[in-house]
Amino acid sequence: MDNARPLAGKHALVTGGARGIGAAIARQLLEAGARVSLVGRSESALAAAVAELRGCGDVDGFAADVAQGDSVKRAFDLARARFGSIDILVNNAGQAASAPFLKTDEAIWQQMLAVNLTGTFLCTREALPDMLAAKWGRVVNVASTAGLTGYGYVAAYCAAKHGVIGLTRSLALEVATKGITVNAVCPGYTETDIVKDAVANIVAKTGRTEEQAHAELAAGNPQKRLVQPIEVAGTVAWLCMPASGAMNGQSLAVAGGEVM
């Protein structure tokens, strides 16, 4: 194994890979030698990410809605045709919506489950046969500290992310003797589009300034700051390495000590 490129020869697929945490993960996997497929809903965002990352290695983008099984299958088949069977899957695609519980309608509830939980299930179901055939694989689910604890006004999101943790633990036991590991990474509030939306929501509903809204979100982190995408990406990349084979069924909080 090339110590400088420990993932050389591996094909990694990253959902939600066009921006934020997903793009940071893709960059680290490319630098470790993997061929990387980016999956996301926006073809223009995927094209921009591929153009930015191409200098790091072999990368391409494939449009899909992770909550739709047929869409997932089409994108994964195209990714296999481009780079071969899938060795590493990073389920990073996610969406957050906030509302008081009694104002959480069925549409919000179903959307949070569809994108965050069903999407993780569908993508894993599509990639797992490749890993079983190869007798090696890595599945990393980007969950959230909301999968480890409770937060007010995001009941649907918390429920979905708790589901992702449960799925992670269950599948990790099923494949423990197959050369495959399944783990979750749980970021706290991270400098991403989701947090930008949360800041805008706080500003709109409370009249606070953007700086005050940022400070409110950062206050729960003992380091009193927002997590950076590269910090989440570093943890995900480590779990994908051959040397992390004993890590299985774990949910690692990347949150400055907020959840212990």
Instruction: Please indicate whether residue 157 is annotated as part of the active site.
Output: yes
Alpha carbons 103 and 101: distance in angstroms, whole number = 5
Nearest of 69, 191, 83, 199 to residue 125 by alpha carbon: 69
| Residue type present at position 198 | A
Residues contacting residue 232 through CB under 8 Å, at least 6 positions apart: 21, 24, 25, 142, 185, 187, 190, 254
Q: Considering 151, 153, 157, 189, which one is annotated as catalytic?
A: 157
- The answer to whether the CB of 210 falls within 8 A of the CB of 197 is no
| One-character DSSP codes across 133-177 | HHT-EEEEEE--GGGTS--TT-HHHHHHHHHHHHHHHHHHHHTTT
Q: Which two tokens stand for residue 204?
A: 């709109």
Radius of gyration of the chain (CA): 18
| One-character DSSP codes across 6-25 | TTTT-EEEEETTTSHHHHHH
Show which residues are catalytic.
157
